[in-house]
Structure 1
Amino acid sequence: MEYLVAFIFGLLVGSFLNVCIYRIPKGKSIVSPPSSCPSCGERIKWYDNIPVISYLLLRGRCRHCGERISLRYPVVELLTAFLTVVILWKFGLSISAFYYLILTYVLIVISFIDLDTMLVPVKLCYFAMLAGILFSPLVLEVSFKDSVLGASFGAGLILFIIETYAIFTGKEGMGYGDANIMALIGAFIGWQKVLLALFIASFVGALVGIGYILLKGKNFRVAIPFGPFLSVGGYVTVIYGNKLLEWYLGGLG
């Protein structure tokens, strides 16, 4: 029953995250006015704003103008619900679960904004990073000191990669916004797991990038936002980081 409640809660949060994803890049308030159709501007009634269900009943189109509604909306809602359930499975009903739900929800917003605009909402990263640091004394998984060091190491590592790449190639590889994302992730996972999160992000990013290039017939200079892969690396590290490190260090031993 608690997983069902978590799933429904995640769907509702996902609906709100969709608002954030749409409005934050435009500099609009995320609390007012009420949601409306981007095409015709008609206010969306509550019965047309039920996560996933309304999308299916409306067959993915606005009730008023018939314009197609982006598939991103139910995808974000279902993804948020699923990841919420996983956090509950990992940490149970605890302060730690609330702590890592903050990270999860922020990473979802950042990832989809990065996919849509190729830009990272720096202010959101900054405030979420501060939340990770300030709330760290309340959880057992990361200490205040490790949180501060994690944010510093995460940002510093990405900045080092950016500057080194620029020196040797004369071009910009990763964006500076990625440093903000890694600082945010580092604040929640601690400095010890920053390299693991970055390795997972790079591995997944390489696989997806190569697949995209082969599928679309693009060359290797195509620009692909790295924020979503950093988010994947951070989330996987939260869930499986300890086991992955134990497996790796055990193998070395």
Structure 2
Amino acid sequence: MELIQEMATHLPLFWWGGLAIIGLCVGSFLNVLIYRLPIMIDRAQQANRAEPSAFTSVEAGDNAPSFDLLLPASRCPECGEPIKWQHNIPLFSWLYLRGTSHCCKKQISTGYPLTELAAMIIALLSGFLIPPGLSLLGVLIFSWLLLALAIIDGKTWLLPDALTYPLLWLGLLFNLKETFISLPDAVVGAVAGYCLLWGFNFLTSRWVNKNCMGNGDFKLTAAIAAWCGWQCLPQLLLLAALSGIISILLLRLLSGRSFKTAIPFGPGLAIAGLLQISGLIVI
């Protein structure tokens, strides 16, 4: 650990500046992902539920405006005015505009700059702990995906397959060369993580007569264990549960909500996953 920190202090200044810029840019993209992906999923589900008749033209929806991660261009959420490039610079534009929209002067959510700041901190902290190489790239991808999943689940109670599955496959791919753990430990971890949480949910749901967790929680647990191994599962689930308990206590103290208030499990799993990968790195 001391050797890594000594190496980090000798890295040139442009390395840290580059990491900071990359982190901010990734944070800006994560904002787009966090906002648009749940809407894209909802629209796809609505389209799948629709049952057009045999007389309905399959080309009826061809002229519908495109909505994905690239199109349409970013717009003000209040008035719909397209955002100019100089007002779309990660973090700095929010500070320059003092947290208000340039077009209609409405308040901009602090969630946007905080996500960008979090992504930048992840990049700099990872660069301090890990020398340049495959391990650093893996930790950055792992951490940024967990950040996006935690925020999406916290806002929408949704852990999209479009993020959990790539997180799972990437964990197995990075561990092909034992970047963090051996491949057998990663495979067993993925299988055991999914089955363990599914079994726990099955038993508790039968006990309380309602479903306690979603399938996304099982997949996210499997994905984290694919990076950190089956050995991480006891600590991972314990830390995630403690995060949930602390969140409930804070909600009770700050907003007076009941102790029975339901909260998403994804953010707790994401925090626990970051702690687990940090433990592997430091050790």
Q: TM-score, normalised by structure 2?
A: 0.81
Q: Gapped runs of 5+ residues in structure 2?
A: 1-12, 41-66
Give the Cα–Cα distance (whole angstroms) in 2 for the partners of residues 89 and 198 of structure 1.
27
Q: Does 1:12 align with 2:58?
A: no
Contact persistence 2:130–2:281 (CA under 8 A): no
* 1:77 aligned residue (116, 125, 149): 116
> Do the aligned partners of residues 138 and 34 (structure 1) sit closer, same or farther apart at CA in structure 2, a change above 3 Å counting?
farther
* 2:247 aligned residue (194, 208, 213): 208
Question: 1:142-153 to 2 correspondence within 5 Å?
Answer: 142-153=181-192
Partner of 1:195: 234
Contact persistence 1:10–1:80 (CA under 8 A): yes
* 2:70 aligned residue (31, 50, 60): 31
In the alignment, residue 19 of structure 1 is paired with which amino acid?
V
Partner of 1:67: 106
In the alignment, residue 4 of structure 1 is paired with which amino acid?
G
Partner of 1:107: 146
Q: For structure 1, which segment, 140-149 or 7-16, has the greater mean C-alpha deviation from structure 2 after superposition?
A: 140-149
Choose between structure 1 and 2 for higher RCO, CA contacts under 8 A separated by at least 6 residues.
2
Identity within the alignment, % = 35
Q: CA deviation at 1:242?
A: 7.2
Give the Cα–Cα distance (whole angstroms) in 2 for the partners of residues 89 and 242 of structure 1.
11
Contact persistence 2:134–2:179 (CA under 8 A): no
Q: Does 1:117 align with 2:156?
A: yes
Q: CA deviation at 1:72?
A: 0.5
Partner of 1:53: 92
In the alignment, residue 126 of structure 1 is paired with which amino acid?
Y
Q: Does 1:41 align with 2:80?
A: yes
Q: CA deviation at 1:10?
A: 0.7
> CA RMSD, aligned part only?
1.7
CA displacement 1:187-233 (0-9 Å, x = unmatched): 11111112212221112221122121122111122121111110000
Quick check: which has more Rg, 1 or 2?
2
Give the Cα–Cα distance (whole angstroms) in 2 for the partners of residues 22 and 207 of structure 1.
26
The alignment covers a number of residue pairs equal to: 244
Q: Gapped runs of 5+ residues in structure 1?
A: 247-253
Q: For structure 1, which segment, 15-24 or 151-160, has the greater mean C-alpha deviation from structure 2 after superposition?
A: 151-160
Contact persistence 1:95–1:139 (CA under 8 A): no
Q: Does 1:86 align with 2:97?
A: no
Q: For structure 1, which segment, 8-17 or 174-183, has the greater mean C-alpha deviation from structure 2 after superposition?
A: 174-183
Q: CA deviation at 1:31?
A: 2.4
> Do the aligned partners of residues 123 and 47 (structure 1) sit closer, same or farther apart at CA in structure 2, a change above 3 Å counting?
same
Flag as ranges the 4+ runs of structure 1 deviating above 6 A: none
Give the Cα–Cα distance (whole angstroms) in 1 for the partners of residues 118 and 100 of structure 2.
21
> Do the aligned partners of residues 14 and 139 (structure 1) sit closer, same or farther apart at CA in structure 2, a change above 3 Å counting?
farther
> Do the aligned partners of residues 241 and 203 (structure 1) sit closer, same or farther apart at CA in structure 2, a change above 3 Å counting?
farther
Give the Cα–Cα distance (whole angstroms) in 2 for the partners of residues 171 and 70 of structure 1.
35
Q: CA deviation at 1:139?
A: 4.3
* 2:207 aligned residue (164, 168, 171): 168
> Do the aligned partners of residues 242 and 42 (structure 1) sit closer, same or farther apart at CA in structure 2, a change above 3 Å counting?
closer
In the alignment, residue 22 of structure 2 is paired with which amino acid?
F
Partner of 2:175: 136
Q: CA deviation at 1:53?
A: 1.2
3-state SS of the aligned residue for 1:59?
coil
Contact persistence 1:100–1:188 (CA under 8 A): no
* 1:22 aligned residue (35, 52, 56): 35
In the alignment, residue 13 of structure 1 is paired with which amino acid?
V
Q: CA deviation at 1:182?
A: 0.8
> Do the aligned partners of residues 73 and 242 (structure 1) sit closer, same or farther apart at CA in structure 2, a change above 3 Å counting?
closer
CA displacement 1:13-58 (0-9 Å, x = unmatched): 1011101001100114212332221222222111111111111111
3-state SS of the aligned residue for 2:98?
coil
